[in-house]
Structure 1
């Protein structure tokens, strides 16, 4: 599976985490590039389908969410599928719990076949459901 497919599966949005270990988005790394693209969109606001979302808070990186996403990416790669459900039937919420992440609400965007980080975010922006997840102000990570 390409690095970009891996990155696309990393983006999970969560709010109200009880045990989050957050780090600031300081370094331009392969792991944070998509989050930075999403934050640029959140900083300007955008229309998702027929609903406008105004400017909102930036997301911050969370290592536990990365771990959950990496497990799902490996599962998809090893078992030859592309879906929000794991090969064991797990949801993103199940995978987050497995790595010790406490959440009250979550969303997950996955992507495949994009050329770069900006292309991934543009694809999600053009899909109302994915766009809403990126722009939801209740999501913090």
Structure 2
């Protein structure tokens, strides 16, 4: 399914009720996170906007700074755009960021023994390889890899 940009709404009217209009909304739906709704100011704002952050804060949710960088770039592509292209835009944003600087904006302590820059460098551009990548990374974290 091609997703659009926040300007058209993270959530949009669909044939069977509201449906995700952006990659951010789709991921939020999959992870059962608090979402914007049609008619709310945050529904048409990027994740890094004050309106969207206020909305998330009202639900006591913060978006990880790396996820935010990825999703803001992925959602910024105009019009209906294939998931593959949105993923590549998000990945390019992660590759362009300074991981240590971005990590300092996260109030949570960094994961021990993990090099976020290395993880970002290794993230596959091919969506078909993402699941395998995260399975291997998860097994390695748990000492099974």
TM-score w.r.t. the length of structure 2 is 0.35
Q: Whose strand proportion is higher, 1 or 2?
A: 1
* Higher normalized contact order (CA 8 Å, seq sep 6+, divided by chain length): 1
